[in-house]
Amino acid sequence: MDIYTSHVDRVPVAAGRFYSAHAGKLETEIGNMAEEAASLTGFVLPENENLLALIAPHAGYVFSGVVAASAFMQLKNIPPRKKVFILGSSHHADFNGASVYNVGDYVTPLGKVKVDTHLANEIIGKSGYIEFVHSVHAHEHSIEVMLPFLQYFWKDQFEIVPVVLATHQKETCLNLALELREYLVPENLFVVSTDLSHYPPYNDANRADKLTVDALLTGKPEILLEQMARNSDTGIPNLATSMCGWTAVLTLMYMLENINDVVYHPVLYQNSGDALSNADRGRVVGYQSVAVSQKSISGEFQLKNSEKKELLNIARKAIKEYLEKREKTTFSGTVFSSALNESCGAFVSLYIKDELRGCIGRLQAANLPLYETVAEMAVSSAFFDGRFSPVTRDELNEMSIEVSVLTPLKKISDPGDIELGRHGIYIKKDFKSGTFLPQVAAKTNWTKEEFLGHCARDKAGIGWDGWRDAEIFTYEAIIIKE
């Protein structure tokens, strides 16, 4: 492990080679590539699915930039996530593990990309496979070429955790996946950097890449590994690899393997022979963009992106008006969509500098429309959560809002039916009850028994094992964040 005692930013090494080193020109190029990608694919992530990860190519933008842009275009209508984990496979280093950059920030021509060094150190401290090796990052382009796209769509409203895998062992990828899985939560995004086939002729690349991508879309790591082995055995001319970043992709697939309702969406395929009119089609590299999502909620109730934004606006407006007038917001004369008039439970959580500042909600809405429930819970969270002092005028601009819209409660007889990270729980025994939102399990990395035990003891007040003879209900949440 390399030890640095001072802040050392990772300077760009691919600027001027893989993409423009001039900020203005680079922004124009990305905008043009996004427009071209939009003309080639009409894929838009379904509104009832939560984006978990993007897979994008990392070659020079003149070759793979349009395909990469088609992946990152999925961020246009999604609020920036707090953390973006970027996984790339090393083109230079070889050891049985991975390196995470923890001594400074990454720099591109578009500015500095903040690295969450605190989280990086936390990961290193808990991991048996992840450390910091400066040389692994120094000349590696697979992480760097992802960053200008993130900056273009999300500006500086995110932090990254850059992880370069140096292993060639599938068992190590599985262990890395187990260590990183706890960070697969709604407020984070995973970006995986990889190209496909290297150097076969154009038509051979199309055929081989189709087989590789089809295997990837199954979501089953072993099927991907088997197909890559078959590609190698079939004697495809000049095939050096079917996927240069296969260890990063495999790690993501292991992370997602046992999570329900995960969907791999193919967005756009090209190879380097498609990039230029005079491109060499006798020796090409393949590129595929993929959006990986999870169906965010079961049942018929859904919210459009415009409705999600409106709920956040309602929550902020309610807090501001109560702060200024000490009066509840009124909605007379305002027309809301049918979804916002539904009677749904909702929680409103407030954060200041990533620290919880209030969280109050209703599991069931008592016939109130959703917009009114959100307004009331926002005010309650800001001013009447007894764990915190009321929000002040100076804190208003620093505050971020998270709204969790809940599905109806479903009583279960078998706690084994609970899916951690997907289900919230409500435990009721006699006149005592308590609840945890779905995101609690993901943030704490509790086991199912710990999830139930903490809720029973800490929320319902019926003791650690009180859930065993209590009524247990599950629900899901549409999580909306500023």
pLDDT exceeds cutoff 80 at 366: no
How high is the pLDDT of residue 300? 56
1-28 pLDDT tens trace: 676 667 899 999 999 999 999 999 999 9
| CATH assignment at residue 398 | 3.30.700.20
Structural domain total, the chain: 2
Neighbouring CB atoms inside 10 A of 173's CB total 27
Asked if 131 and 202 sit in the same domain, the reply is yes
How high is the pLDDT of residue 482? 82
Specify the range with the lowest mean pLDDT, choosing from 163-177, 271-285, 361-375. Answer: 361-375
Asked if 146 and 194 sit in the same domain, the reply is yes
Placement of tokens 């709920």 in the chain: 311
Is 82 part of a structural domain of the chain? Answer: yes
Among candidate residues 244, 270, 295, the one where a domain is terminated: 295
Asked if 83 and 45 sit in the same domain, the reply is yes
Contacts of 456 (CB under 8 A, 6+ apart): 427, 434, 462, 463, 464, 465, 466, 467, 470
| Helix/strand/coil for 46 | coil
Is 18 part of a structural domain of the chain? Answer: no
Among candidate residues 263, 295, 327, the one where a domain is terminated: 295
Here the contacts of 453-457 (C-beta below 8 Å, separation 24 or greater) are 455/425, 455/427, 456/427
Contacts of 209 (CB under 8 A, 6+ apart): 196, 197, 242, 269, 271, 286, 288
Asked if 319 and 242 sit in the same domain, the reply is no
Is 7 part of a structural domain of the chain? Answer: no
Region 330-358 average pLDDT: 87
pLDDT exceeds cutoff 90 at 334: no
Region 393-409 average pLDDT: 90
Is 424 part of a structural domain of the chain? Answer: yes
| CATH assignment at residue 84 | 3.40.830.10
Asked if 309 and 241 sit in the same domain, the reply is no
Q: Which amino acid is at 72?
A: F
Is 220 part of a structural domain of the chain? Answer: yes
**Rounded-to-integer distance, Cα 222 and Cα 254, Å:** 10
How high is the pLDDT of residue 5? 62
Asked if 286 and 332 sit in the same domain, the reply is no
**Rounded-to-integer distance, Cα 339 and Cα 337, Å:** 5
Sign of CA dihedral 313, 315, 318, 323: negative
Percent of the chain with pLDDT over 90: 74
Specify the range with the lowest mean pLDDT, choosing from 224-228, 280-284, 441-445, 467-471. Answer: 441-445
Q: How far is CA 347 from CA 46, 90, 281, 444, 478, in A?
A: 24, 43, 56, 19, 10
Asked if 402 and 318 sit in the same domain, the reply is yes
pLDDT exceeds cutoff 60 at 246: yes
Q: How far is CA 301 from CA 162, 339, 370, 478, in A?
A: 36, 8, 12, 10
Region 460-466 average pLDDT: 96
Q: Which amino acid is at 110?
A: L
As to burial, measured by CB atoms within 10 angstroms (0-12 exposed, 13-18 middle, 19+ buried), residue 393 is exposed
Percent of the chain with pLDDT over 70: 97
Domain enclosing residue 255, as ranges: 23-295
Region 77-89 average pLDDT: 92
Asked if 144 and 190 sit in the same domain, the reply is yes
**Rounded-to-integer distance, Cα 202 and Cα 205, Å:** 5
Is 11 part of a structural domain of the chain? Answer: no
pLDDT exceeds cutoff 60 at 467: yes
How high is the pLDDT of residue 112? 97
Is 269 part of a structural domain of the chain? Answer: yes
The pTM is what?
0.68
Is 473 part of a structural domain of the chain? Answer: yes
DSSP 457: I
pLDDT exceeds cutoff 80 at 260: no
Specify the range with the lowest mean pLDDT, choosing from 197-206, 232-241, 253-262, 372-381. Answer: 253-262
Region 134-152 average pLDDT: 96
- Output the CA angle 245-196-291, nearest 5 degrees: 80
Asked if 121 and 234 sit in the same domain, the reply is yes
Going by pLDDT thresholds of 50, 70 and 90, the confidence category of residue 343 is: confident
Region 131-140 average pLDDT: 94
pLDDT exceeds cutoff 70 at 296: no
Give yes or no for a contact between 272 and 63, defined as CB atoms under 8 angstroms apart: yes
- Give the closest residue to 374 by CA, choosing from 412, 411, 410, 336: 336
When the pLDDT of each residue in the chain is averaged and rounded to a whole number, the result is 92
Asked if 383 and 407 sit in the same domain, the reply is yes
Q: Which amino acid is at 223?
A: I
| Helix/strand/coil for 402 | strand
Asked if 125 and 220 sit in the same domain, the reply is yes
How high is the pLDDT of residue 182? 86
pLDDT exceeds cutoff 70 at 435: yes
Asked if 80 and 53 sit in the same domain, the reply is yes
Among candidate residues 253, 270, 295, the one where a domain is terminated: 295
**Rounded-to-integer distance, Cα 113 and Cα 55, Å:** 20
